[in-house]
Amino acid sequence: MEQNIRPILGVTIGDINGIGPEVILKTFQDKKFLKYCDVVIYGSSKVLSYYKKALNIEHFDYTIITDASQLNNKQINVINYSNDEAPLEPGKATLQAGDIALKCIDMALADLKEGKIDGIVTAPINKSTIKTPNKDFKGHTDYIRNYFGVAECMMLMVDESMRIGLTTGHVAIKDLHKFIDTKNILSKIEILNKSLTEDFLINKPKIAILSLNPHAGEDGIIGKEEQDFINPAISAAKDKGILAFGSYASDGFFGASQFTKFDGILAMYHDQGLIPFKSYAFETGVNYTAGLPIVRTSPDHGTAYDLVGKNIASSGSMENAVFIAIDVIRNRMNFKQMHENPLKRSNISSDQMA
C-alpha cells in the first residue's frame, strides 16, 4: 500500500441479531471516516436496510459491490454474503446468524490475505452459534491466528487511559496453571513490547507485569507462581532489553492508579485485565489482536441481545476500533519506512492521523 493512499478497512457485520448492525450504522452515518479510510462492510445490505429503517437512521448511504476491487471511495461499500434473504430474528441467538457471521469473516480474511483490504474491524459475534468443521469456534482471535498460521498472538485491550494485554485469553480459571509458566509469560511480554513499539510507535515502552496470586504471593505464602514463573520471566525480558517491571498485585496497582505510569500492562488472565479495563473504558475500549501480520480490531463488547432494536446501543467502541485500525496501519508503514531508511520520514503527517 502506497504511503499516500488511505487504508481500506473491511468491517464484518457480526451477529445480525445482535447490536453489530446498529453500531455499524451509527458509526458510518458520520462521513468523517471517509476522510481517513475507505470502508467495505462484509454482510447483508438487506440487514442494514432493515435496521436503518427500524432505528430511523437517516444518513447512512452505501453502494453494493461484488468485489473489493470495485471500491467506491465516496461511499460506504457493502459486499453481500449471499443474495438470499437473511433470516433475521433480532435479539435471539440462532445458528443461522452464526453461519452468516462466519461466512462474512471468511470473506474479509480472504480479501485481507490477497491484499484487497488493509485491515479488518470485526463486529460482535456469539461464539456458541458458530460451528466450524473441525471443532467449536473459540472466538475471532484464535480463528484469525489459525487462518494466518501464527503460533501466538495476544488480546490487547486499548483505550486512551491504558493498554492491557492478556497472558491467557478465554481459559477457564481451573486451567490457568497450565499456561502460567516462564516461557509463555516471556513470549507474551515480547509480543506486547513489539506491538507497543511497532503498532503504537512508543519508543522503549514501559511494561507492568501483574501477579497471579493475592498480594503477589506474599513471598510464596499465598502461592509460588510469582517466584517460580512470573518474576523469572520479567528478569529474562530485562535481559533482552525490554523495560518490564513487577510483578504487581492488581488491586493496589489499579487502586492507586499506578497504571498511568506505564505504556502497557500484562495481566495473567482474562478478568484480571478486563475488569479494570472496562471499568475505565466500557463504551470506548477496543480489542486489538497483537502479534498478527495483519491489523484486526473489534469493539470490546458483545452482541447485547437485550439492547437490540431499542436504539440505545453506543457506537463509541466501534468508532474507536475504526480509528485505532487506521492508526496502526499507518504506524506500521511509518515504522517500516523509518527502519528501512532511518533518514527518511514518512509523508503521513500528524494531522492526517485518525
- For residue range 277-308, list pLDDT tens digits in order: 999 888 889 999 999 999 999 998 999 999 99
Distance CA 30, CA 308 (A): 21
Instruction: Tell me the residue range of the domain where 103 lies.
Output: 1-150+292-354
Residue 179 corresponds to which cell in the numbers above?
A: 499456561
Number of domains in the chain: 2
* Residue 148 grid cell: 494466518
Cell of 163: 493498554
Domain boundary among 291, 324, 343: 291
The letter for the amino acid at 139 is G
Return the C-alpha torsion angle 235, 236, 242, 247, nearest 10. -40
Judge if the upstream peptide bond of residue 247 is cis by omega within 30 degrees of 0: yes
By three-state DSSP, how is residue 12 classified?
strand
Residues 18 and 128 grouped into a single domain: yes
Cβ–Cβ contacts within 10 Å for residue 306, how many?
A: 8
Q: How far apart are CA 184 and CA 235, in angstroms?
A: 14
- Tell me: do 209 and 307 sit in the same domain: no
- The per-residue b/e assignment along 307-332, b for 16 or more CB within 10 angstroms, e otherwise, is bbeeeebbbbbbbbbbbbbbbbbbbb
Give the three cell numbers for residue 28: 458510518
280-283 long-range CB contacts below 8 Å, 24 or more apart? Answer: 280/159, 280/161, 280/162, 281/157, 281/159, 281/160, 281/161, 281/162, 283/314, 283/316, 283/317
- What cell numbers appear for 290 in the block? 497483537
Distance (Å, whole) CA 78 – CA 11: 9
Same domain, 25 and 114: yes
> Distance (Å, rounded) from C-alpha 111 to C-alpha 105?
10
Convert the pLDDT of each residue in 191-202 to its tens digit: 999 999 999 999
pTM metric for this prediction: 0.89
Domain boundary among 270, 291, 312: 291
* pLDDT reported for residue 5: 61
Residue 287 — φ and ψ, nearest 5°? -95, 115
122 shares its domain with 173:
no
Cβ neighbours for 60, distance < 8 A, ≥ 6 positions apart: 25, 28, 29, 48, 52, 76
Same domain, 104 and 167: no
**Is residue 6 pLDDT above 90, yes or no?**
no
Statement to judge: residues 103 and 113 lie in one domain: yes
pLDDT interval class at 93 (50, 70, 90): very high
Residue that terminates a domain, selected from 252, 267, 291 = 291
Average pLDDT over residues 20-31: 93
In tens, the pLDDT along 200-249 reads 999 999 999 999 999 987 888 888 888 999 999 999 999 999 999 989 99
